[in-house]
Each structure stands twice: as structure tokens, then as C-alpha cells.
């Protein structure tokens, strides 16, 4: 009888311990499931806002293309033809096409980033030359907001090992953001030597951004705020490109006072 009672007690104790750990694991799994459900809800909401915002961002230039194309047709029916007005319309259409193309490139790159397919083709690059050529070409053709471009570049810096096309993409993204969010202001691009890296800064005197947006703007699909997506797609891609070069990038911004994005690339040759 004693053996039976002892065995029963041991079995009950073991069953109790097993049940306790099962219940504890069940509670842990339930908490994890609740967390995952909350994340899925946030991502679903972010996706909805993202799709709506991107559709809006693409629709605006499409409307501008339609308007200026129609105006060009009307101008062609008038004699004498106002060639300056036609030229201005064509420049605006070209600017809007480039804007749509950049949005689509950024979206394509976000997919490549998430799938780990962002590749680099490294070669010697003179940053001063690249920045001057890209910024003057882009700014000269697509600045319609009365801004002034200032280049403060150390032309003596040697070439570094980088992907020319990707760094060009970063400069265009940063300059495009500056132009888009600045009216009758100053946009300054600087290049200087750091300790063991070359540092590029794109600063504007534009509208700036909220502190919450500034903190999240490099993080990818994390926000349900439309302002985030308006600022953040190109910045997210630029952040990934710079990090893939083993570089660093950070942003300083104050609402109503402007934004400065600074990145540093290792001084490798």
C-alpha cells in the first residue's frame, strides 16, 4: 500500500510539473501569437497607407503630364507658336516622368533589399566629380521652386571604391527630397574628408520634418503616417545603399527649419 501511495504521489507530482510547464509554454506561445497578430495589423495598416500614398505620389505627376501635354497641343494650334511655352511644358513633362521613374526604381529596390538582392559593382569613384555632374544636371533641369544650389566640394579628395550608379541614385534621391520640400531656399551639397572616410552632406532650408518621422524615416515599412511615406521611400533605399558600402548615414531635421542628410563612405581605394 505504501508503495502504491508513493508511486501515485510521484506520478501526480510529475504530471503536475509537466502540466505546469505545458501551461507556461502555452501562455508564452499565446503572448507571442498576440504580438505577431499586432505586428500583422500594423503592417497591414502600413501597407494600406503605403499603397494609397504611392498611388497619390504617382497620380500627381501623371495629372501634370496630362495637363501640360494638353496645353502643348493647344499651343501648337496657335500662330505664331510660343516656342518658350512649349519648351517649358516639355521640361515639366520630362521632370514628371523622371519623378515617376524614380518612385518605381525605389519600389523595385525595396523588394531587392528585403530579399537580400541589393548588389554592388565597385570601382574607383571621384565623389566630387560625381556630385558636381549629377547635382548640376538634375538641379538645373528640375528645380522649379526658386531654390539656389551651393556646392562646397573638396576637389582634391582621391577616388574611393564605390558603386557609381548606386551613389548617383543616393545623390539624386537626397537632392530630389530637398527640392521637393524647399521653396525659394538654399540647397547645399558638401564633400569633405573625415577621419577614415569621405563625408557628403545634402542640406536644405525647407519645411523640415516632425521628430517622430525623422526617427523612423530609415526603417522601411514601419509607419502608418502618410508623411513618413512622403519623405521616407527614397531615404530608406539610400540608407540601405550606404550601409551596403559599409558606410553610415544620419539625418538632422527640424520642422520649419530644414533638413540635412549626411553620409560617410570608407576611404577605400
Domains and CATH numbers, the chain: 1-117 (1.10.287.130), 123-266 (3.30.565.10)
Residues in the chain: 269
- Tens digit of pLDDT at every position of the chain (269 positions): 666 676 667 767 777 777 777 777 777 887 888 887 777 776 666 566 666 667 766 777 788 788 888 888 888 887 788 888 888 888 778 878 877 887 777 777 776 666 666 777 889 999 999 999 888 887 776 666 788 999 999 999 999 999 998 899 899 889 988 888 888 999 999 999 988 899 999 999 998 888 887 887 887 654 545 555 555 677 888 888 999 899 999 999 988 889 999 999 998 76
Q: Which backbone phi and psi does 151 adopt, to 5 degrees?
A: -110, 125
Strand 186-193 versus strand 148-153 pairing type: parallel
Kindly state the cell numbers that stand for 268. Answer: 577605400
Nearest CA to 168 among 242, 113, 236?
242
pTM over 0.75: no
Cis peptide before 80 (omega within 30 of 0): yes
Amino acid at each position: 500500500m505504501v508503495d502504491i501511495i508513493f508511486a501515485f504521489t510521484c506520478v501526480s507530482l510529475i504530471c503536475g510539473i509537466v502540466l505546469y510547464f505545458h501551461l507556461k509554454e502555452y501562455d508564452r506561445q499565446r503572448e507571442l501569437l498576440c504580438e505577431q497578430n499586432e505586428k500583422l495589423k500594423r503592417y497591414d495598416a502600413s501597407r494600406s497607407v503605403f499603397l494609397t500614398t504611392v498611388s497619390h505620389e504617382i497620380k500627381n505627376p501623371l495629372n501634370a503630364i496630362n495637363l501640360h501635354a494638353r496645353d502643348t497641343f493647344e499651343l501648337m494650334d496657335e500662330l505664331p507658336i510660343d516656342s518658350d511655352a512649349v519648351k517649358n511644358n516639355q521640361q515639366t513633362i520630362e521632370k514628371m516622368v523622371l519623378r515617376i521613374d524614380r518612385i518605381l526604381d525605389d519600389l523595385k529596390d525595396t523588394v531587392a533589399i528585403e530579399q537580400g538582392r541589393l548588389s554592388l559593382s565597385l570601382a574607383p569613384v571621384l565623389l566630387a566629380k560625381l556630385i558636381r555632374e549629377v547635382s548640376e544636371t538634375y538641379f538645373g533641369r528640375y528645380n522649379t521652386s526658386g531654390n539656389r544650389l551651393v556646392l562646397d566640394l573638396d576637389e582634391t579628395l582621391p577616388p574611393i571604391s564605390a558603386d557609381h550608379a548606386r551613389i548617383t541614385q543616393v545623390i539624386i534621391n537626397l537632392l530630389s527630397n530637398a527640392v521637393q520640400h524647399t521653396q525659394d531656399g538654399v540647397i547645399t551639397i558638401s564633400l569633405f574628408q573625415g577621419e577614415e572616410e569621405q563625408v557628403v552632406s545634402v542640406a536644405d532650408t525647407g519645411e523640415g520634418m516632425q521628430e517622430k518621422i525623422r526617427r523612423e524615416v530609415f526603417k522601411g515599412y514601419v509607419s502608418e503616417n502618410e508623411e513618413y511615406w512622403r519623405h521616407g521611400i527614397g531615404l530608406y533605399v539610400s540608407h540601405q545603399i550606404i550601409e551596403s558600402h559599409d558606410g553610415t548615414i544620419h539625418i538632422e531635421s527640424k520642422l520649419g527649419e530644414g533638413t540635412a542628410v549626411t553620409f560617410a563612405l570608407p576611404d577605400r581605394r
